Amino acid sequence: KGLTAEAGINVPVTKASDSTTKVLPALTMSFTYTPQTAKLENISEQKKLLEVKSEQLSMQTALEDYEKTLVSKKAELEDLLWTKESRYEELVQCIESEINMAKWYEKGIISEKDYLPEKVNVEKAKINCLMNAVDFIIYNGSIKLLFCND
């Protein structure tokens, strides 16, 4: 890291004028040490390690988010199912009450003023059941979106 080695050979092209002196090729060798290069390589290695750790952390975070979403969606589904059951029971009770009130109204035991609120209650219970069905459609859409890429 930061150490460079160079080697070379110099071969003379011309002969020396003095015939007693032999012209020999020259061998050169050099070593260079650059501390900045060593530091930069060290920083690059640390950067790569941090990138790997960051990626691992991102994967861990994504897994935790997935698990949280899974728990949240399961709880939401349980709430929707409970609401569906309770709305259905409410509708059944309202219908039974409206049937009884209709019989009493026909017999003249109660007035129309007493009977009509029961009819309204049945319609409200039907609307509540429809709203729950819409909530299920929204829930199913949100589940589908979990599997779509942005």
d(C-alpha 48, C-alpha 88), whole Å: 59
The pLDDT assigned to 138 comes to 96
CA 58, 63, 67, 68: dihedral to nearest 10 degrees? 0
Percent of the chain with pLDDT over 90: 62
Q: Answer whether 24's CB lies under 8 Å from 60's CB.
A: no
Lowest mean pLDDT of 19-28, 80-89, 138-147, name the range: 19-28
d(C-alpha 96, C-alpha 88), whole Å: 12
Q: List the structure tokens of 36.
A: 């900045």
Mean pLDDT of the chain: 88
| Confidence class for position 15, pLDDT limits 50, 70, 90 | low
| pLDDT tens string 34-89 | 778 778 888 888 999 999 999 999 999 999 998 999 999 999 999 999 999 999 99
Task: Evaluate if residue 98 carries a pLDDT over 90.
Answer: yes
The pLDDT assigned to 26 comes to 78
